[in-house]
Structure 1
Amino acid sequence: MAEPVVTANGAHPGPEGDATRRDFIHIAAGAAAAGAGVMVAWPLINQMNPAADTLALSTIEFDTSKVQEGQQVVITWQGKPVFVRNRTAAEVAKAKADDTASLKEPQTDAERTKPGHEPMLVVIGSCTHLGCIPTFGTGDYGGWFCPCHGSHYDVSGRIRKGPAPANLVVPTYEFTSGSTIKIG
């Protein structure tokens, strides 16, 4: 009977391809290092997610049936004023007639409202010049006027005169049920 062969480090050589104790230790150490790397990286990745207060402000719902014809309501969304205006039939007709006027930023009234809800206009109430809040009904075109620097907007929120470079911004919104809108 032959004596078992023992190597210099005291291990018994096995057949080709068999895992040794040393191989197992290497695999276990590699797995532990990978796990530690994930544990270190997770807080760094997780801190890039939006905060809970930001997520809470990401959308807002508003019942437009509270806004009478010819009336405007200002609501706050993401810290910005949003004008929700229920335009009269005359204002809608004037806005559609102004579609062919000379505009700094050409946009039709239909592009600024939702189909089937043309009287309801939703725009962010910040002047596109320096972010002032324009007032309604005091401009040259029957819409908004920014008293700070003299920008005039029409009843569709399109810039007509003054230093503002763009129309009042229409936020992403949709009618969810009947007269309820969801902004954001």
Structure 2
Amino acid sequence: MATVEHSDGMLATAPDGGVRRRDFINIAAVSAAGVGAAATLYPLINQMNPAADTLALASIEVDVSAIQPGQAIKTIFRKQPLFVRHLTPAEIQAANAVSTGELRDPQTLAERTQEGKAEWLVTMGVCTHLGCVPLGAAEGENKGAFGGYFCPCHGSHYDTAGRIRKGPAPKNLEVPAYKFASDTVITVGEVA
């Protein structure tokens, strides 16, 4: 078939299914725009990935050998406070004596601790109301009306199992994923 030149200088082939020059230019332009859009969007999407320093904190190990019954320690996990508390037999008994029907966020102590390790309570040290750091982990701090933790910002009281008992907090203190690497070391975070 013969090639016909249009008034705009473009060439077209006969209607036998061949590609016209104008179609090729349109396809090339759309392809270039798609590559440009992908090149622009990749950095924008990639910046939403966690930073390397955050990934380095994906898990931590906490040595609990020096924590005596009745004591707690504060450490940092993913840039937030973490409480590790060694419960006394009296604290365990007090936590187990509470009916879950009385609780705003019903959980037993067994649901908040590892099986066979009920004396070790691991919680995030962040009040579930507005994110303040509760008192009660350090020696001499106010432990609230239920002997656990007290948030001085708005008056939330947590019991010895880190469960909300009084005040505006809607939920118990969060229990992160953790496991015992040994009898004296807890791995907090990414646990398999």
SS at match of 1:135: coil
Alpha-carbon spacing, 1:24–1:176, altered in 2? closer, same or farther (3 Å): farther
> Contact conserved, 2:89 with 2:119, CA < 8 A, in 1?
yes
Q: Name the counterpart of 2:111.
A: 111
| Counterpart check, 1:43 vs 2:43 | yes
> Contact conserved, 2:105 with 2:170, CA < 8 A, in 1?
yes
Percent identity (aligned): 41
Q: For 1:182, which of 175, 178, 188 is the aligned residue?
A: 188
Q: Name the counterpart of 1:159.
A: 164
Give the residue type in structure 2 aligned to 1:88.
T
Query: Which segments of structure 1 move beyond 6 Å, counting only runs of 4 or more?
Result: none
SS at match of 2:179: strand
Q: Name the counterpart of 1:169.
A: 173
Distance in 2 between residues matched to 1:127 and 1:15, nearest whole Å: 73
> Contact conserved, 2:60 with 2:77, CA < 8 A, in 1?
no
Q: Name the counterpart of 1:144.
A: 149
Give the residue type in structure 1 aligned to 2:173.
V
**Residues 139-148 or 152-161, more deviating:** 139-148
Instruction: Using the TM superposition, give the Cα deviation of residue 147 of structure 1 relative to its aligned residue in structure 2, in angstroms.
Output: 5.3
Distance in 2 between residues matched to 1:115 and 1:48, nearest whole Å: 37
Give the residue type in structure 2 aligned to 1:77.
F
Alpha-carbon spacing, 1:86–1:32, altered in 2? closer, same or farther (3 Å): same
Give the residue type in structure 2 aligned to 1:66.
S
Please list, as runs of the form range in 1=range in 2, the aligned pairs for 1:1-184 lying within 5 A after superposition: 5=2, 7-9=4-6, 13=13, 16-57=16-57, 59-70=58-69, 71-99=71-99, 102-129=102-129, 131-136=132-137, 138-146=143-151, 151-161=156-166, 163-175=167-179, 177-178=181-182, 179-183=185-189
Distance in 2 between residues matched to 1:148 and 1:30, nearest whole Å: 57
Alpha-carbon spacing, 1:30–1:164, altered in 2? closer, same or farther (3 Å): closer
Distance in 2 between residues matched to 1:14 and 1:128, nearest whole Å: 72
TM-score (ref. length: structure 2): 0.71
Please say which structure displays the higher CA radius of gyration: 1
Give the residue type in structure 2 aligned to 1:177.
A
SS at match of 1:66: coil
